[in-house]
């Protein structure tokens, strides 16, 4: 156990985590250059394209230190987006150390800080690394000061590195032995292993990744998952190199995988503890939480006939993404579909994209909302995941909405713009800390619903990208919410309904009408777009009737070309949904929320 080191990498998107990880794998000869598709750890297409790691992975490598000994390194990769902070916390809990990777041109970002705090909370040894020092824009002195301020280390502790050129890689590898403590834990104790991730393999079922705190696990053991209480046989255990390497026995301190024949990933919960069924541990490892969806939206097939296919696809997605939840719902406008719960907006977009890429399912996503607590006058407590479920105002006593604490790190020159944005979003400034003269951290108390509605895009645009953002849920508070309905030619479109704060209903209604006017194509008749609260119309726009849509001439030489043109037009219509008499393009349901800078 003394020769094992378990560590993760804390970094902001684009700060070079994947490239640096690749260099470590290369230098330890875990992976040959030839085998390496760039960034070996990100193996989903979407991850590669977005340049972020959505699901964490782990990999084992062997390092021959200058002391002559060979050490086992377990690098536990962490996801890099706010939506996945619980998974990050479980990965951190499986490590004794963390490489804090900071881009030498860009400095510390909000995401990095919140993960760093998590690591410090878990007593991880931090190895600070300034990455991309070879770039012309690198500001080594300034960024070093920033890191020193942040973690209170000495300047000599900071390793200067470049994943691209390989500078500092050797220093990092030996610092891992020298600075990160070996795992503590006792192989003689009853088994206690922390599940920090799982993945789905269509041939082998669900594979759980774990870190053994105490005890041993043998192939064929009956193992129990403490929080779910279920017992399975450990059909295969092993370590994770570029491929899985089966072993007969793994001991305390090590990281590995187990295959039990479980077919659905919801049976394996990240953060759960694995123990021996015959000789169980006294207590579960702390920190387990049921992952709770934060954002809800309806997902509907474009064609109602595809409802069952959509169900199949969602079920398959859920096999390897246990954080996706869904249940059937009906919309008057859209027919049969599913109300789905997501960890956040990125998660929603990823699911939508995976449905399209992996299952060829084009879907309509309705206006997303958060989960509300409603209390009726008869003191019933209802959880509202869709605006349609909100009781009539006469029956309603109060509604509570979820709040978050948001951390934004930016340059001082953008403070004003961010304050304006957050106040408009009903936020309160809690704290303002200068990390350096050029970098300030703002914390806000904000309703979660407000960051669902185009917060992140606008934050990026008002700061020209110089802001990073992280959030954590805090509590539920009573709020004056109203249900805003959108009507097309008098028909309410339930899929466009939303719950909004009363003070913002008018402007929100006006803008949603305006946006719809841009998004809906003209049709053979006039279209009235209205926003209403109950019976009261608060905003209205009209789209004039399509007057002219014909070419004057159609003779022998025009027919083929014209037919093809109309066939293309027809394909465009296929991506639309008929609501009452009005054709609504698929993208309108989500695009309608992108209200622009006046939102």
Contact residues toward another protein (CB under 8 A) are 523-525, 546-557, 559-560, 562-563, 566-567, 569-571, 573-574, 581
Nearer residue to another protein within complex by CB, 423 or 566:
566
Instruction: State the nearest-atom distance from the C-beta of 573 to another protein, in Å.
Output: 6
Instruction: State the nearest-atom distance from the C-beta of 526 to another protein, in Å.
Output: 13
Extended strands (E) in 480-559: 481-488, 491-492, 498-501, 527-533, 536-543
What SS3 class is residue 122?
coil
What SS3 class is residue 544?
coil
Nearer residue to another protein within complex by CB, 332 or 566:
566
Instruction: State the nearest-atom distance from the C-beta of 522 to another protein, in Å.
Output: 9
Nearer residue to another protein within complex by CB, 292 or 573:
573
Instruction: State the nearest-atom distance from the C-beta of 198 to another protein, in Å.
Output: 38
Query: Is residue 3 left, alpha or beta, with left meaning phi > 0 and alpha meaning psi from -120 to 50?
Result: alpha
Looking at residue 423, the DSSP 8-state letter turns out to be H
Instruction: State the nearest-atom distance from the C-beta of 312 to another protein, in Å.
Output: 21
CA 247/CA 240 separation, integer angstroms: 10
Nearer residue to another protein within complex by CB, 229 or 557:
557
Instruction: State the nearest-atom distance from the C-beta of 572 to another protein, in Å.
Output: 8
Among 311, 323, 288, which residue's Cα sits nearest to residue 55? 323
Among 243, 200, 227, which residue's Cα sits nearest to residue 283? 227
DSSP string, 247-300: ESEEETT-EEEEE-----GGGS-TT-EEEESSS--SSPPTT-------EEEEEE
CA 314/CA 352 separation, integer angstroms: 10
Q: Which helix H or strand E contains 143, and what residues bound it?
A: helix 140-151
CB atoms within 10 A of CB 127: 23
Looking at residue 42, the DSSP 8-state letter turns out to be -
End-to-end CA distance of the chain: 56
Instruction: State the nearest-atom distance from the C-beta of 544 to another protein, in Å.
Output: 9
CA dihedral 143, 144, 147, 149 (to 10 degrees): -100
Nearer residue to another protein within complex by CB, 291 or 488:
488
Nearer residue to another protein within complex by CB, 278 or 573:
573
φ, ψ of residue 164 in degrees (nearest 5): -75, -50
Nearer residue to another protein within complex by CB, 156 or 567:
567
Instruction: State the nearest-atom distance from the C-beta of 568 to another protein, in Å.
Output: 9
Instruction: State the nearest-atom distance from the C-beta of 556 to another protein, in Å.
Output: 5
Nearer residue to another protein within complex by CB, 303 or 380:
303
Nearer residue to another protein within complex by CB, 437 or 524:
524
Among 273, 271, 274, which residue's Cα sits nearest to residue 287? 271
Among 186, 299, 304, 242, which residue's Cα sits nearest to residue 35? 242
Nearer residue to another protein within complex by CB, 156 or 549:
549
Nearer residue to another protein within complex by CB, 420 or 551:
551
DSSP string, 145-198: HHHHHHH---GGGPEE--TTT-TTHHHHHHHHHHHSPPPP--TTSPPEEEEEEE
Instruction: State the nearest-atom distance from the C-beta of 44 to another protein, in Å.
Output: 28
Instruction: State the nearest-atom distance from the C-beta of 406 to another protein, in Å.
Output: 45
Instruction: State the nearest-atom distance from the C-beta of 562 to another protein, in Å.
Output: 7
CA dihedral over 442, 443, 449, 451, signed as positive or negative: positive
Integer angstrom CA distances of residue 242 from 31, 146, 378, 537, 568: 7, 35, 59, 60, 46
Nearer residue to another protein within complex by CB, 203 or 555:
555
């Amino acid at each position: 156990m003394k020769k094992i080191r378990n560590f993760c990498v804390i970094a902001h998107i684009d700060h070079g985590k994947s490239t640096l990880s690749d260099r470590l794998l290369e230098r330890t000869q875990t992976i040959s250059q030839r085998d390496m598709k760039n960034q070996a750890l990100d193996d989903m297409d979407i991850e590669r394209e977005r340049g972020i790691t959505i699901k964490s992975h782990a990999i084992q490598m062997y390092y021959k230190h200058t002391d002559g000994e060979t050490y086992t390194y377990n690098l536990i990769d962490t996801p890099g987006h706010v939506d996945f902070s619980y998974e990050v916390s479980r990965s951190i809990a499986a490590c004794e150390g963390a490489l804090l990777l900071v881009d030498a041109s860009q400095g510390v970002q909000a995401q990095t800080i919140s993960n760093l705090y998590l690591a410090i909370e878990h007593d991880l040894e931090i190895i600070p690394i300034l990455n991309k020092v070879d770039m012309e824009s690198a500001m080594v002195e300034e960024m070093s000061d920033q890191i020193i301020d942040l973690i209170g280390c000495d300047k000599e502790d900071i390793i200067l590195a470049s994943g691209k050129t390989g500078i500092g890689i050797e220093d990092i590898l030996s610092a891992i032995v020298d600075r990160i403590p070996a795992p503590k834990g006792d192989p003689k104790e009853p088994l206690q292993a922390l599940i920090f991730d799982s993945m789905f393999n269509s041939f082998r079922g669900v594979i759980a990744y774990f870190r053994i705190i105490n005890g041993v696990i043998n192939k064929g053991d009956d193992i129990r998952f403490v929080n779910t209480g279920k017992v399975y046989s450990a059909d295969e255990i092993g370590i994770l190199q570029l491929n899985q390497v089966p072993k007969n026995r793994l001991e305390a301190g090590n990281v590995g995988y187990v295959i039990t024949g479980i077919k659905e990933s919801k049976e394996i919960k990240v953060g759960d503890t694995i123990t021996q069924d015959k000789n169980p541990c006294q207590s579960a490892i702390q920190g387990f939480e049921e992952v709770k969806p934060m954002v809800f939206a309806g997902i509907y097939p474009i064609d109602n006939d595809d409802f069952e296919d959509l169900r199949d696809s969602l079920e398959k997605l859920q096999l390897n993404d246990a954080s996706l939840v869904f249940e059937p719902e009906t919309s008057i406008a859209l027919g049969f579909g599913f109300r789905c719960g997501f960890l956040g907006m990125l998660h929603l977009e990823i699911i939508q994209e995976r449905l399209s890429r992996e299952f060829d399912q084009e879907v309509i996503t309705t206006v997303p909302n958060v989960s509300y607590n409603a209390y009726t006058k008869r003191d019933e407590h209802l959880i509202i995941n869709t605006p349609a479920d909100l009781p009539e105002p006469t029956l309603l006593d109060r509604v509570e909405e979820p709040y978050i604490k948001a951390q934004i790190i930016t340059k001082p020159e953008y403070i004003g713009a961010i304050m304006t944005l957050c106040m408009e979003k009903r936020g309160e400034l809690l704290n303002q800390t200068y990390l350096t003269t050029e970098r300030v951290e703002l914390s806000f108390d904000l309703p979660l619903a407000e960051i669902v509605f185009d917060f992140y895009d606008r934050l990026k645009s008002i700061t020209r990208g110089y802001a990073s953002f992280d959030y954590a849920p805090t509590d539920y508070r009573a709020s004056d919410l109203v249900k805003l309905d959108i009507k097309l030619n008098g028909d309410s479109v339930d899929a466009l309904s939303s719950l909004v704060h009363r003070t913002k209903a008018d402007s929100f209604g006006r803008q949603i009408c305006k946006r719809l006017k841009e998004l809906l194509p003209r049709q053979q008749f006039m279209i009235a777009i209205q926003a209403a609260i109950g019976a009261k119309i608060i905003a209205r726009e009209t789209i004039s009737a399509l007057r002219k849509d014909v070419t004057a001439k159609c003779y022998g030489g025009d027919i083929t070309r014209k037919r093809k043109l109309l066939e293309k037009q027809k394909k465009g219509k296929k991506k639309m949904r008929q609501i009452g008499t009005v054709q609504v393009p698929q993208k309108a349901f989500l695009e309608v929320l992108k209200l622009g800078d006046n939102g």
